[in-house]
A and B are shown apart, each in its own frame.
Chain A
């Protein structure tokens, strides 16, 4: 059946306006053997854009390991699901909302939170935690404070209202994000392992049911916006940013979970990017069925909307359900009790076509495969390009520089400074599962009724990826896993947000391909499958791309909450030691990147050296030592190296009262490079003197490097060089003042 009415005739010019290429337009004509209607063109533009089709990334994403022990659901669904024992599973995913958040920070961030929450409860899980990963421009960029405050209030406003704690995350400032911030949000939920719901339009004749908020003209072309770069016209796109209604989301969440408890639900999908279009097409695609939609019954918030507008609206807080025939009234009863609009808007067909009707006329009639499996797939050209200097930026810094002022400068920098002004705006404890405030290496959430806890972290280092995409990819996965191991948790699986520039540029595609390869290798070596993920391309403004910024969101399991550690020192007189790869020096001289950046404003050289086998050994020792009860604290060396790690462990002690007396171990290289060097695979631990003896035996037996470098003392951080010469002596009060005031000018 061909559409009876042609709306405005489509043509190449309109196709180009919709972000399709000339080749893509030609391919549509060839496949359909006719011109598409305007509604159909809208559907193509929504399904074939980068955001929905992954057309530039799919060939590379296949490299990720996606299976393994405990994987109940891998990529391709609304979220990944991992078995956590006792009949329970964790569903989790991370997503970006970068472009909308730059244009309208509050609503952009808020609706990003809303979208990822829906992805989780769609699977049948009750969301229990949110984490964010934020990248802003330089702290002194005039737009930065506005964007930071808007994004943080948006996340806070939405997450707090829905009653899901925001338990962790990270925030980093760099001028490469001046014109294109990153807002990545991760959500995790708990569910029964044997009751996973999928976005499947199965069962010919079953009803397609629309629930949630009404449909309006808001957000039309949101997905297309996310698939193009930025220029001066970006702010004209402000009306395509949706407005979130967290209250409605909370009702939708409760109503959907109640429906899932009752049975009769066949499939469910969130109407996210490209709303009704992607929800119906993807559900039919997965089930190998077709869908007919009758738009007359879709609940609306404004009059006179065209089928084109219905299909492309990105009004928030809406879901599409497939229910078993005959159970419609049961579904209706639940949603009406929650005061939510509900309507039967179509049914599942066997013709593998997506058909859209309104007022008895057909507006679209397309084969589903053409929009899903047969969507364009590009293996874009790759040409690596070295963009930062290869020389170590340390060379520009006087080797005799005082370490004390440098450490204070690092702590007072917004990147290493205390993020309390951000997370104090997040309700991080609602649902009473959160074990301790944000700011640790990973967030821990107890699982009520068991001894277990989930460990969650987000992490990423764009500078490493810019310097060497392959190594940067490995390091991102390794550090996220190390974060979890520092709490005593075993990494289970990960999700990611791959934020990159314009994929049509061969240098960007080269970054992407290498980062994915590096990540995939680390995932294999550390046994962490990728079960969900998201790609965000076109993070560029005026043709300038952001640094390649893959963010890893990792989930781990702590078997016994009584055996866990935080990063903070906790007893005076405890031994402080480093765990490191046995075939390396305890510290390495190179890779003092954040230090060089803060002190000299320079970047370059190589990212830290990493051997994944050693990384696995270091993490394994740390976890087992925590499980054995040997360690009092554990904290990985990251930005700012040993210096910043020591300060952070001391600042996290009770009342920030414990300092440390440290001797920098004998190693090759200049002292500032060793002290601030970001050597990978290093963990700073503390233990009682008695436990430390046992721990050292354990490390020796496992052939992992372990060296005591000092002990905890009250009130002062004192560091001497390998030859005993005093390197720095700082009062904890001064460290606290520098650290706690770091975000003062921004928030």
Chain B
């Protein structure tokens, strides 16, 4: 598997994603500078976290204009896997590859913590091998992670099985205490209608080794690996 990891000015989880894919998973990953025009034949794309363009104007608002985003959109339109993590999720909503928007956390400040999410659907390439009932422990680190969309969109997301991850308690229950940022319907991650483009606020790349406190994030990477193989 060869994964393209897009590097915007201000990306700062690019190296962590690279480490997870290469050192931990033993696959190939290429860091692709945002001024490039092609993905170099990568089979999947990760838009990593960070503060692209300093989150100035609005998180992800400037990055969507980077040349590489045309190639990412084409890759997505061909039905191939794209995952946006944290700032990458924000970039994907800003560029219209995913619906809705990420507003400031309800508490109005940055939160870094470990949370639990449960997988709501195995239909995406990034959730294919995840057991739905078992909550995953993954870190979050964001100020703007409060997912919002209009009522029509939320109905469509529900009807079309586009909600991929929801914040939950350690036992897998949904409640507002377990939702760190006030997102609608406790949404932590969604996908597009086709299911090949996924965005999520938690950082799976930070939960791939026991030393980091959890290996639950690794399942997203093994999922996409098995999707590509099949």
Contacts and interface: CB of A to CB of B under 8 A. Distances in A.
Interface in A429-451: 429-432, 434-436, 446, 448
A251 B111 contact: no
Interface residues of B, number: 30
Nearest to B23: A448
A337 B54 CA distance: 17
A424 interface: yes
A464 interface: no
Interface string B42-84: 0000000011011110000000000000000000000000000
A430 B211 contact: no
Contacts of A561: 211
Contact of A160 (B9, B139, B141, B213): B141
A246 B50 CA distance: 12
A339 B111 CA distance: 30
B110 A427 contact: yes
A426 B206 CA distance: 15
A15 B63 CA distance: 49
Given A338-B9, A432-B212, A245 B110 contact: no
Contacts of A428: 112
Given A160-B51, A339-B9, A561-B211, A426 B16 contact: no
Q: Most chain-A CB neighbours within 10 Å: which of B9, B111, B139?
A: B9
B163 interface: no
A630 B56 CA distance: 51
Given A246-B51, A246-B54, A432-B206, A163 B13 contact: yes
A156 interface: yes
B112 A424 contact: yes
Interface in A254-286: none
A153 interface: yes
Interface string A533-565: 000000000000000000000000000010000
Contacts of B110: 153, 156-157, 160, 425-427
A250 B10 contact: yes
A163 B9 CA distance: 12
A162 B54 CA distance: 9
B212 A429 contact: yes
B211 A247 contact: no
A161 interface: yes
B112 A247 contact: no
Contacts of B156: none
Contacts of B141: 160, 427, 429-430
B90 to A, nearest CB: 14
A427 B54 contact: no
Contacts of A153: 109-110
A613 to B, nearest CB: 36
Contacts of A162: 12
Contacts, number: 81
A628 B184 CA distance: 51
Nearest to B53: A247
B37 to A, nearest CB: 15
Contacts of A339: 9
Contacts of B208: 432
A163 B15 CA distance: 11
B51 A429 contact: no
B109 A156 contact: yes
A337 B33 CA distance: 10
A569 to B, nearest CB: 18
A250 B55 contact: no
Contact of B51 (A247, A423, A432): A247
A429 B112 contact: yes
A31 B16 CA distance: 56
B202 to A, nearest CB: 12
Contacts of B211: 435, 446, 561
A337 B7 CA distance: 13
A429 B206 contact: yes
A161 B19 CA distance: 20
Contacts of A424: 111-113
Nearest to B114: A437
Contacts of B94: none
A247 B16 contact: no
A626 B174 CA distance: 41
Given A425-B112, A430-B141, A250 B206 contact: no
A429 to B, nearest CB: 6
Interface string B174-188: 000000000000000
Given A161-B12, A429-B206, A432-B212, 18 more contacts: A162-B12, A163-B50, A163-B51, A246-B51, A247-B9, A247-B54, A250-B54, A251-B9, A337-B35, A425-B109, A425-B112, A426-B112, A427-B110, A427-B112, A429-B112, A432-B205, A432-B209, A446-B211
Q: 8 closest pairs, A vs B, by CB?
A: A163-B12, A247-B54, A161-B51, A427-B141, A432-B16, A427-B112, A425-B110, A156-B110
Interface of B: 9-10, 12-13, 15-16, 19-20, 23, 35, 50-51, 53-56, 109-113, 139, 141, 205-206, 208-209, 211-213
30 contacts: A153-B109, A156-B109, A160-B51, A160-B141, A161-B10, A161-B51, A161-B54, A162-B12, A163-B12, A163-B50, A163-B51, A247-B9, A247-B53, A247-B55, A250-B12, A250-B54, A337-B35, A425-B110, A425-B111, A426-B112, A427-B112, A430-B13, A430-B16, A430-B141, A430-B206, A431-B15, A432-B209, A432-B212, A448-B19, A448-B23
